[in-house]
Structure 1
Amino acid sequence: MGEYGPLFCELHVYQRVAKPEMVDEWCKAKKMKYLGVPKYISSGTHTRGKETFRFMVMERFGTDVQKIFEKSGKTFSRHTVCALALRLLDTLEYLHNKGYAHADIKASNLLTGFSHGKEQPNQVYLVDFGLAYKFYCDGVHKEYKEDPKRCHDGTVEFTSTDAHKGVAASRRGDMEIVGFCLLQWLCSRLPWENNLENKDYVRDSKIKYMKDIPGLIKACFPSGSHPDEITKYLTYVSKMKYEDVPDYNKLRTIFRGGISGKDEWKIDLPLSVASASKKTAQKRKSAGEPFSPVEKKVKSAARVTKKEKESTPKPKAVKKTVKNIKSPSASTPRQIKSPVNTPKHITSPRATVSKVATPKIPGKPASRHGTPKLTLAGRKRSRSRSPAPASSNVKKGSPKKSTKRRVKRRKAVQTSDASMQTSPGFSSGSG
């Protein structure tokens, strides 16, 4: 159980601030439709063998906002960002009122609601209280103190400048983290995201830009067009002191100005992840933009498979070719008349075979015609009706010479061999 420190901390927070009756009472007093704090249901331990596991039960939720953000092209509309800001301010006001700072606010820790068997696109809940810190105890705020051992706590691209210095989490830190999240949702990329591995560089960049809000806005929106709400919010946060209590109503008024008369409880998150992903891929393809790493892997694998298919010979086609060579075509020797200059004593291919004198092979019984039995190659040649051509000039008793002469005549002059007659371009007048 010692390995579950963050879960123990989270359970501790839920038991003190997230009981259903506490959340419902707050919503009723503030006249809110819902509060983005998960309701604590139950917890306990379970022992299996020699191991003991700690568990906690809460409500069921839908997709995290980070996935929706990435599938929608890493940008949200002005209305969606302002609506998310309003719901985060409601949630943080409740937590801060109970003396806790969340310290790890980000899109992946925001989950959509889930009820009646489907996701609720207009409800967002802040989860993961593993880094939550009680900054207010017995009516006293924790003092500002930098601790090098606690430097850079949280998620590096969003964590506060206080956390980079090792200072304990506070309300000011939460407000600053929210500002960085809202800024990324609007402009897609924060200025220090080009070198997140260097945490000191990230810290120095945040400190510099929080002292120069116009410079930060210019770095995030090079075209010059940007929502005024984010500038006003970051300017307000940059002037806060460590122990200050944020003016939540004033900050909500800033973001209600970006709703443009619409219902602030409708966040309009693009939950159709599949369709949004397809549209984004099509836009990148049409605009010539590079694909994502996952898409690159899929496309490269498809190209390799295609090349392998093209380079692999087709065995079926080869077999068909062999069959065509072995078996006679429609224009067989029976259907083609012998040329005029064919010797009169040659009447058929079988007669040609019988005319050639072949010496007896030792160990091979001779047939009744005085010739040895044909070998496998000879039988195949006989079936294909393409026996060796005969000549009237062949002398008896010299089979070796006749064989050589037959090969030479075959290469030099077209004969009346049946297999040669089936070849394309055969001339009946060749002699």
Structure 2
Amino acid sequence: ASPQTDVPVEDDAVHVIKVEYLENGPLFSELKFYQRAAKQEQIRKWMSLKKIRCLGIPVFWGSGLTEYKGKSYRFMVMERLGEDLQRIFEDSGSRFKKETVLQLGARMLDTLEYIHENEYVHGDIKAANLLLGYANPHEVYLADYGLSYRYCPNGNHKQYQENPRKGHNGTIEFTSIDAHKGVAPSRRGDLEILGYCMLQWLCGKLPWEQNLKDPVAVQTAKTKVKNVAGKRRFCFKSSEIAKFLACVYGLAYDEKPKYQVLKKILLDGLESSGARYDGPLEFSAAARTLFFVVCLYTPAATNVEEVLFWDLTVLLVCGAMRCANAAF
């Protein structure tokens, strides 16, 4: 063993080690993703091609096997990252500024495009898996590839097939409609999850969050929202997130997304707000300004679709509608 084994780790260490039992499936899946799809030379070429300064995939340094007290372990050596967005989200009053949401969305879209082009999907995008850079807190990285899935091995896309026994996989509030049905993860599923994340970051909550213990109810709510969004019957001018989700909902299971079209939707929103894609990330508490996030379901409602339409409309435009010094 190395003589450095027992040396205490300094607070400014730039590497971390992720350790699990040898039999741990998610860590093995994560390791395979990094080995196949996230070599640093690949990433550098992609960044040069796309003319971006940072791609949100952590640096993988190496891996190995070890034994300790008769048990076998697998480990990965990764670059050290900073604070996760879930903690920052909660410390910011459970809302982010619209500009910050669009920045995060556009950067994650770049990251997902790279992952997808290398035959993988992430499958579990959420604030807890998004970490700021340790050296540069204005960079954001998508971590935890334990649920990553090779959707297109050797260029052959997996077939659409529902399997109720595998239903509702992933983080229930964000997971895709396909995942609720037990369908294997796909590119459109990743983008749908990202859309739900942006919606929560902007508005503070999702319409189905009160039913998270009932996966079928969550699936039903998402399906109704998709049906309403697809009709484009919004009484207000659609927000960037509404447009983003409408495009994603229109994708076929095995269709390659038009990433640049989706990114332009978000970049146009940033430009209209005077912000930049690669500008500093600003996180601040909501203070005394509250966004309108209201539940319009009432016992007297007779047209469920219309109620969902209005509820979704309010959620999607809540970034522009504010109520100061009000409480609901």
Q: Per the shorter chain, which TM-score range?
A: 0.7 to 0.9
Supply the AA of the counterpart residue of 2:117: N
Supply the AA of the counterpart residue of 1:234: L
Other-structure match for 1:252? 263
Query: What's the CA shift for 1:263?
Result: 2.2
Q: Show structure 1 runs of 4+ deviating over 4 A.
A: 214-218, 224-227, 287-290
What does residue range 179-190 of structure 1 map to in structure 2 within 5 Å? 179-190=195-206
Local SS of the residue matching 2:35: helix
What is the alpha-carbon distance in structure 2 between the residues aligned to residue 24 and residue 177 of structure 1?
26
Of residues 113, 120, 131 in structure 2, which corresponds to 1:93? 113
Query: What's the CA shift for 1:227?
Result: 6.4
What does residue range 10-409 of structure 1 map to in structure 2 within 5 Å? 10-115=30-135, 120-213=136-229, 228-260=239-271, 261-270=274-283, 276=285
Query: What's the CA shift for 1:214?
Result: 7.8
* Kept in 2: contact 1:83–1:267 (CA 8 A): no
- Cα gap change, 1:27/1:217 in structure 2, threshold over 3 Å: closer, same or farther? farther
Cα deviation digits, residues 23-82 of structure 1 (max 9, x gap): 112111211101001121011112112111111011110011111111111111111111
Query: What's the CA shift for 1:230?
Result: 0.9
What is the alpha-carbon distance in structure 2 between the residues aligned to residue 102 and residue 37 of structure 1?
11
Local SS of the residue matching 2:208: helix
Other-structure match for 2:17? none
Cα deviation digits, residues 286-339 of structure 1 (max 9, x gap): x7979xxxxxxxxxxxxxxxxxxxxxxxxxxxxxxxxxxxxxxxxxxxxxxxxx
- Cα gap change, 1:31/1:150 in structure 2, threshold over 3 Å: closer, same or farther? same
TM-score normalized by structure 2? Answer: 0.77
What is the alpha-carbon distance in structure 1 between the residues aligned to residue 53 and residue 327 of structure 2?
42
Local SS of the residue matching 1:63: strand
Local SS of the residue matching 2:137: strand
Higher relative contact order, structure no. (Cα contacts within 8 Å, ≥ 6 residues apart): 2
TM-score normalized by structure 1? Answer: 0.59
* Kept in 2: contact 1:68–1:269 (CA 8 A): no
* Kept in 1: contact 2:230–2:249 (CA 8 A): no
What is the alpha-carbon distance in structure 1 between the residues aligned to residue 228 and residue 62 of structure 2?
46
Supply the AA of the counterpart residue of 1:268: L
Larger radius of gyration: 1
What is the alpha-carbon distance in structure 1 between the residues aligned to residue 227 and residue 91 of structure 2?
33
Supply the AA of the counterpart residue of 1:78: K
* Kept in 1: contact 2:132–2:138 (CA 8 A): yes
Other-structure match for 2:308? none
Query: What's the CA shift for 1:193?
Result: 0.3
Coordinate RMSD, CA, aligned = 2.4
Q: Which has the higher helix share?
A: 1
What is the alpha-carbon distance in structure 2 between the residues aligned to residue 19 and residue 266 of structure 1?
27
Local SS of the residue matching 1:62: strand
* Number of residue equivalences: 271
Query: What's the CA shift for 1:108?
Result: 0.6
Cα deviation digits, residues 184-209 of structure 1 (max 9, x gap): 11111111001100000001111111
What is the alpha-carbon distance in structure 1 between the residues aligned to residue 236 and residue 80 of structure 2?
39
